[in-house]
């Protein structure tokens, strides 16, 4: 069953690695990517993170590409606009569109490349986290990072019941569809409203049932968190430090280097 | 010894609808109890009262002869000792992972860390879901969810386990697994209470049955006695168990012995009266009172005949060449059942037994043994109702091997011995690999000897 990102993360072998290590890698990648002056380090970060997600995390390559494609579309539009409408340096390319001159200038292109590189590296870092760390691993991280216990407990319960209600919603929608509830626009509105109100009542009901079932197992107001200890192993540490060092070196070497 | 008791228990919902009227029950320790009744007859409400989740309007509930005192300390004790599994697993599984859900109860009992881990891991092992402990519940099937729910309760080591409609929404295999699990827990001393509207299940499985209808208790008793009272069943809106119906029809036609209540298939088979007279084609020259050798009965007469040869005495010869004969059967050696203790297990040894012991039928009992067999690719002919099916197969002269672990070896041995004593048919029974000798093994030592590898 793989419908959402969380399902891929649950099956990823990287799921069983230390959560803090993964978070550090992602935070480092985001910061280094955003603060780079040249597009080269962010591209390098994006490459490394994609490699880690696809080869170490065993995310299907096609699926990963598809995922990247969506935000890339947005980035591409922005980048085109930046390339054509900013910068003052040497002219690289120009044409007329209905007697309006469109020109790409060197520093404009440079800026466009940087924006593209930064957004890709950010996306790759976040996908790495999303595709290797399922939500259930993050609860203990949330707790450790000082979030109030009740918030974490609530989020644990909410996480669990999202799926119950998702199932319920799918079933209700199906039951409505087979009885032509979504036949036209007006009917769709009505059916969707009914779906919403039914879900609300059901979730209220479920809350009461939940309380009864928790009570029957001696609930006393607190849920205990169980964090599985996953010490960072030597190869992981070596690989991470190699990655950090090479990124930093690249970062240093490409200061002020322009690629155009 | 009475473990749970209610006296004059009455409960009405806040809106005034009566849910239970004057319920008096006494539940003995270590028994398998079934509450049978239609939907809405008050079973679920009664269960909530037995666990202290709801407070009765009138009457009282007693645990070990002490009335419930609805304060938080004693409720904690009651809920630890009387675990309840709800009908819908999704109501019960609320933690993000299987492990966390099973650990919820023990953590609330403030167990120290090591004890908590042992409890949770043991419960997960018992239900055979150790490999699933990091999964979220929405990645499990219905049967697996039910098993997690049971593990969550068993991790608190309750004395009484209450299950509301444990088999609803389960496929046959899932249902068999749950029942096997319950039998296992019962064998290790837990008192099990279930509610069901499946009369076949209640009749076959339980030691004692309570019949409920319309918020009231309308009958109780051992299943053999209770389910004979068809009027009472009609009143409760239920029908007779099908094995009992089949038996009654056979009995009415003189094909089965009377006054029995067969619960299982072997018992039903045992109740059958074999045909004594038969029409055969009389060979030429045969006179009345001669002996005819019919050989082994093959084919459509009896595909798996346990009989070697049949001698028939001719009673009467009909003018058209047919004869009525009286059958005298000589049984060939019955098959045998070997119990293999999987607590210490070696795959080559089992292969050796299957090959040299000429075993044609292999079954596994208990989740652990099933997983072991699955991992090593041992083909299992049967995984549910193992003892019954093995007895039936052994009756047909074949040899069976049952893989099972822990105390279940003893349990299986006892069940087979009970059958042997009841039916008077001798089966070879042996155990293999058990550490200590079973107390009654000597009785059957001679017959067991021949089957040992």
Complex ipTM more than 0.95, yes or no: no
Tell me the percentage of chain A whose pLDDT exceeds 90.
21
Tokens of B348: 């080559």
Where is average pLDDT lowest: B36-50, B163-177, B193-207, B432-446?
A: B432-446
| Nearest C-alpha in A relative to B157 | A217
Residue B392 to chain A, least CA–CA distance (Å): 41
Q: Is the pLDDT of residue B13 over 60?
A: yes
Tokens of A35: 């603060």
Write the DSSP assignment of A108-136 as a string of letters: HHHHHHHHHHHHHHHHHHHHHHHHHS-HH
Distance CA B212, CA B191 (A): 20
Distance CA A113, CA A259 (A): 9
Residue A168 DSSP one-character state? H
Give me the pLDDT at residue B238, please. Answer: 87
Residue B141 to chain A, least CA–CA distance (Å): 11
Q: Are A29 and A120 part of one and the same domain?
A: yes
Report the DSSP pairing between strands B428-432 and B336-341.
parallel
Tokens of A73: 């579309």
Q: What is the mean pLDDT of chain B?
A: 82
Give me the pLDDT at residue B268, please. Answer: 83
Interchain proximity A214–B156, CB inside 8 Å: no
Give me the pLDDT at residue A25, please. Answer: 93
Sheet containing B18-28: which strands, arranged edge to edge? B18-28, B2-12, B58-63, B66-67
Q: Are A146 and A120 part of one and the same domain?
A: no
Residues in chain B whose beta carbon is closer than 8 A to a beta carbon of chain A?
A: 48, 51, 53, 76, 79-80, 83-84, 86, 88, 90-97, 99-100, 103-105, 107-109, 134-139, 152-153, 156
Interchain proximity B80–A209, CB inside 8 Å: no
Residue A106 to chain B, least CA–CA distance (Å): 52
| Nearest C-alpha in A relative to B79 | A216
Interchain proximity B139–A161, CB inside 8 Å: no
Q: For the purposes of burial, counting CB atoms within 10 Å of the CB of B117, is it exposed (0-12), middle (13-18) or buried (19 or more)?
A: middle
In a domain, A221, yes or no: no
CA angle B86, B88, B92 (to 5 degrees): 60
Higher pLDDT among residues B370 and A30, named by residue: A30
Helix pair angle (B172-187, B408-423), 10° resolution: 100
Q: Are A64 and A187 part of one and the same domain?
A: no
Residue B14 to chain A, least CA–CA distance (Å): 15
Give me the pLDDT at residue B295, please. Answer: 58
Q: Among B300, B289, B264, B302, which residue's Cα sits nearest to residue B390?
A: B264
Where is average pLDDT lowest: A206-220, B43-57, B205-219, B346-360?
A: B346-360
Q: Under CATH, to which class is B2-240 assigned?
A: alpha beta
Q: Are A79 and A162 part of one and the same domain?
A: no
pTM strictly above 0.80: no
Q: Are A104 and A61 part of one and the same domain?
A: yes
In this prediction, residue B332 has a pLDDT band, given cuts at 50, 70 and 90, of low
Distance CA A55, CA A65 (A): 13
Give me the pLDDT at residue A195, please. Answer: 92
Q: Are A188 and A209 part of one and the same domain?
A: yes
Distance CA A214, CA A160 (A): 14
Structural contact between residues B95 and A161, judged by C-beta atoms closer than 8 angstroms: no
Size of chain A, expressed as the number of residues it contains: 260
Can you tell me the mean pLDDT for A83-111?
79
A3-11 CB contacts, 8 Å cutoff, 24+ apart: A5/A130, A5/A131, A6/A134, A6/A135, A7/B139, A8/A59, A8/A60, A8/A63, A8/A131, A9/A130, A9/A131, A9/A132, A9/A133, A9/A134, A9/A135, A10/A134, A10/A136, A10/B135, A10/B136, A10/B139, A11/A58
Where is average pLDDT lowest: A18-32, A191-205, B375-389?
A: B375-389
In a domain, A58, yes or no: yes
In this prediction, residue A50 has a pLDDT band, given cuts at 50, 70 and 90, of very high
* Tens-digit pLDDT profile for residues A1-20: 456 788 888 888 888 888 88
Where is average pLDDT lowest: B79-83, B220-224, B262-266?
A: B262-266
CB < 8 Å to B107, chain A: 223-224
Sign for the CA dihedral angle at B435, B439, B443, B444 comes to negative
Size of interface A-B (CB pairs under 8 A): 85
Interchain proximity B95–A156, CB inside 8 Å: yes
Higher pLDDT among residues B448 and A28, named by residue: A28
Give me the pLDDT at residue A122, please. Answer: 92
**Which of B72, B73, B136, B152 is the best substitution to test chain A (most A C-beta atoms within 10 A)?**
B136
Q: Among A225, A226, A160, A229, which residue's Cα sits nearest to residue A20?
A: A229
Hey, is B34 helix, strand or coil? strand
Distances, alpha carbon A36 to alpha carbons A33, A193, A206, in Å: 6, 49, 50
Interchain proximity A167–B138, CB inside 8 Å: yes
Show the domain range for A40.
Answer: 5-133+233-253
Tell me the percentage of chain B whose pLDDT exceeds 70.
88
Tell me the percentage of chain B whose pLDDT exceeds 90.
20
Distances, alpha carbon B227 to alpha carbons A6, B29, B165, B211, B262, in Å: 51, 23, 19, 10, 12
Q: Is the pLDDT of residue B194 over 90?
A: yes
In this prediction, residue B36 has a pLDDT band, given cuts at 50, 70 and 90, of very high
Q: Are A62 and A188 part of one and the same domain?
A: no
Report the DSSP pairing between strands B66-67 and B58-63.
antiparallel
Interchain proximity A220–B108, CB inside 8 Å: yes
CB < 8 Å to A212, chain B: 48, 53, 91
In this prediction, residue B34 has a pLDDT band, given cuts at 50, 70 and 90, of very high
Interchain proximity B79–A163, CB inside 8 Å: no
Q: Among A11, A119, A112, which residue's Cα sits nearest to residue A58?
A: A11
Distance CA B295, CA B34 (A): 48
Q: Among A173, A180, A213, which residue's Cα sits nearest to residue A195?
A: A173
Structural contact between residues B403 and B363, judged by C-beta atoms closer than 8 angstroms: yes
Report the residue from B79, B107, B109 with minimal CB separation from A216: B79
In this prediction, residue B296 has a pLDDT band, given cuts at 50, 70 and 90, of low
In sequence order, what are the beta bridge partners of B193?
A: B33, B162
Give me the pLDDT at residue A80, please. Answer: 87
Where is average pLDDT lowest: A89-98, A120-129, B316-325, B328-337?
A: B328-337
Residue B134 to chain A, least CA–CA distance (Å): 9
In this prediction, residue B297 has a pLDDT band, given cuts at 50, 70 and 90, of low
Q: Is the pLDDT of residue B444 over 60?
A: no
Where is average pLDDT lowest: A43-57, B58-72, B109-123, B328-342?
A: B328-342
Residue B175 to chain A, least CA–CA distance (Å): 22
Sign for the CA dihedral angle at A87, A91, A92, A94 comes to positive
> For chain B, what is the radius of gyration of the CA atoms?
26
In a domain, A226, yes or no: no
Q: Are A87 and A43 part of one and the same domain?
A: yes
Give me the pLDDT at residue A259, please. Answer: 67
Domain ranges of chain B: 2-240, 245-271, 274-331, 336-449
Q: What is the maximum span of chain B, computed from C-alpha positions, in angstroms?
A: 91
Higher pLDDT among residues B397 and A79, named by residue: A79
B335: phi then psi, degrees, rounded to nearest 5: -75, -170
Give me the pLDDT at residue B450, please. Answer: 37
- Give how many domains chain A has, as a whole number: 2
Give me the pLDDT at residue B164, please. Answer: 92
Higher pLDDT among residues A15 and B285, named by residue: A15
The Cβ of residue B150 has, within 10 Å, a number of other Cβ atoms equal to 26
Q: Among B402, B282, B287, which residue's Cα sits nearest to residue B340?
A: B402
Q: Is the pLDDT of residue B334 over 70?
A: no
Tokens of B330: 């000589």
Structural contact between residues A135 and A158, judged by C-beta atoms closer than 8 angstroms: no
Report the residue from A167, A215, A226 with minimal CB separation from B53: A215
Distance of CA A226 to the CA centre of its chain: 25
Residue A220 to chain B, least CA–CA distance (Å): 7
| Nearest C-alpha in B relative to A7 | B139
Give me the pLDDT at residue B447, please. Answer: 41
Higher pLDDT among residues B296 and B76, named by residue: B76
Interchain proximity A160–B91, CB inside 8 Å: no
In this prediction, residue B449 has a pLDDT band, given cuts at 50, 70 and 90, of very low
Report the residue from A156, A163, A213 with minimal CB separation from B91: A213
Tokens of A141: 């991280």
Distance CA B423, CA B444 (A): 16
In this prediction, residue B451 has a pLDDT band, given cuts at 50, 70 and 90, of very low
Distance CA A112, CA A116 (A): 6
CB contact burial B226-265 (16+ within 10 A = b; e otherwise)? bbeeeebbeebebebbebbeebeebbeeeebeeeebbbbe
Q: What is the mean pLDDT of chain A?
A: 86
Residue A93 to chain B, least CA–CA distance (Å): 55
| Nearest C-alpha in A relative to B89 | A213
In a domain, A125, yes or no: yes
B264-272 CB contacts, 8 Å cutoff, 24+ apart: B264/B204, B264/B385, B264/B388, B265/B385, B265/B388, B265/B389, B265/B392, B266/B388, B266/B391, B266/B392, B266/B395, B266/B419, B266/B423, B267/B422, B268/B243, B269/B392, B269/B395, B270/B419, B270/B422, B270/B423, B270/B425, B271/B247
A1-10 CB contacts, 8 Å cutoff, 24+ apart: A1/B139, A5/A130, A5/A131, A6/A134, A6/A135, A7/B139, A8/A59, A8/A60, A8/A63, A8/A131, A9/A130, A9/A131, A9/A132, A9/A133, A9/A134, A9/A135, A10/A134, A10/A136, A10/B135, A10/B136, A10/B139
Distances, alpha carbon B147 to alpha carbons A238, B303, B344, in Å: 42, 39, 25
């Amino acid at each position: 069953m793989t419908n959402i990102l969380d399902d891929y993360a649950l099956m990823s072998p990287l799921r069983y690695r230390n959560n803090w290590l993964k978070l550090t890698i992602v935070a480092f990648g985001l910061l280094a990517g955003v603060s780079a002056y040249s597009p080269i380090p962010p591209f390098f970060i994006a490459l490394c993170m994609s490699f880690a997600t696809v080869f170490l995390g065993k995310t299907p390559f096609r699926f990963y590409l598809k995922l990247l494609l969506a935000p890339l579309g947005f980035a591409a539009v922005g980048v085109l606009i930046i390339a054509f409408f900013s910068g003052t340096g040497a002219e690289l390319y120009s044409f007329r569109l209905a007697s309006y001159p469109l020109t790409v200038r060197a520093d404009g292109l440079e800026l466009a490349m940087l924006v593209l590189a930064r957004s890709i590296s950010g996306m790759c870092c976040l996908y790495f986290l999303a595709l290797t760390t399922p939500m259930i691993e993050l609860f203990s991280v949330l707790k450790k990072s000082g979030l109030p216990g009740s918030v974490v407990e609530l989020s644990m319960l909410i996480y669990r019941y999202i799926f119950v209600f998702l199932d319920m919603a799918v079933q209700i929608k199906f039951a409505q569809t087979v009885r032509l509830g979504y036949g036209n626009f007006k009917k769709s509105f009505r059916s969707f409203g009914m779906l919403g109100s039914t879900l609300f009542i059901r979730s209220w009901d479920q809350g009461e049932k939940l309380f009864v079932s928790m009570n029957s197992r001696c609930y006393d107001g607190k849920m205990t968190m169980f964090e599985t200890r996953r010490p960072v192993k030597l190869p992981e540490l070596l690989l991470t430090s190699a990655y950090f060092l090479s990124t930093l070196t690249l970062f240093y070497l490409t200061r002020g280097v322009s690629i155009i | 010894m009475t473990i749970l008791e209610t006296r004059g228990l009455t409960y009405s919902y806040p809106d005034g609808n009566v849910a239970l009227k004057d319920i008096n029950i006494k539940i003995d320790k270590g028994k398998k109890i079934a509450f049978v009744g239609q939907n809405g007859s008050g079973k679920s409400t009664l269960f909530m009262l037995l666990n202290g989740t709801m407070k009765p309007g009138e009457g009282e509930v007693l645990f070990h002869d002490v009335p419930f005192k609805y304060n938080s300390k004693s409720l904690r004790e009651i809920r630890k000792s009387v675990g309840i599994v709800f009908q819908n697993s999704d109501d019960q599984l609320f933690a993000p992972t299987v492990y966390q859900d099973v650990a919820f109860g023990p953590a609330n009992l403030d167990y120290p860390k090591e004890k908590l881990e042992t409890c949770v891991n043991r419960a997960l092992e018992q239900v055979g879901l150790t490999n699933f402990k990091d999964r979220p519940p929405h990645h499990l099937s219905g049967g697996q969810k039910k098993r997690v729910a049971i593990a969550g309760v068993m991790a608190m080591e309750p004395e009484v386990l209450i299950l509301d409609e444990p088999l609803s929404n389960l496929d046959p295999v899932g249902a068999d697994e749950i029942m096997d699990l319950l039998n296992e827990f019962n064998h290790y001393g837990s008192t099990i209470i279930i509610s069901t509207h499946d009369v076949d299940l209640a009749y076959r499985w339980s030691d004692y049955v309570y019949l409920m209808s319309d918020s009231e208790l309308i009958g109780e008793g051992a299943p053999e006695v209770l389910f004979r009272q068809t009027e009472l069943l009609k009143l409760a809106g239920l029908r007779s168990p099908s094995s009992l119906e089949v038996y009654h029809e056979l009995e009415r036609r003189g094909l089965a012995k009377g006054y029995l209540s067969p619960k299982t298939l072997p018992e039903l088979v045992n109740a059958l009266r074999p045909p004594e007279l038969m029409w055969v084609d009389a060979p030429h020259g045969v006179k009345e009172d001669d002996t005819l050798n019919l050989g082994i009965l093959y084919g459509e007469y009896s595909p798996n005949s346990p009989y070697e040869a049949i001698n028939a005495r001719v009673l009467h010869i009909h003018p058209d060449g047919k004869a009525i004969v009286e059958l005298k059967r000589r049984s060939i050696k019955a098959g045998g059942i070997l119990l293999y203790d999987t607590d210490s297990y070696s795959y080559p040894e089992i292969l050796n037994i299957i090959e040299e012991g000429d075993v044609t039928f292999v079954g596994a009992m208990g989740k652990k043994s099933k997983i072991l067999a699955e991992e090593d690719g041992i083909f299992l002919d049967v995984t549910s109702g193992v003892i019954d099916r093995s007895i039936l197969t052994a009756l047909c002269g074949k040899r069976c091997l049952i893989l099972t672990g822990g105390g279940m070896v003893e349990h299986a041995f006892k069940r087979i011995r009970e059958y042997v004593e009841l039916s008077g048919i001798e089966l070879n029974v042996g155990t293999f690999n058990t550490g200590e000798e079973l107390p009654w093994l000597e009785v059957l030592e001679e017959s067991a000897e021949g089957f040992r590898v």
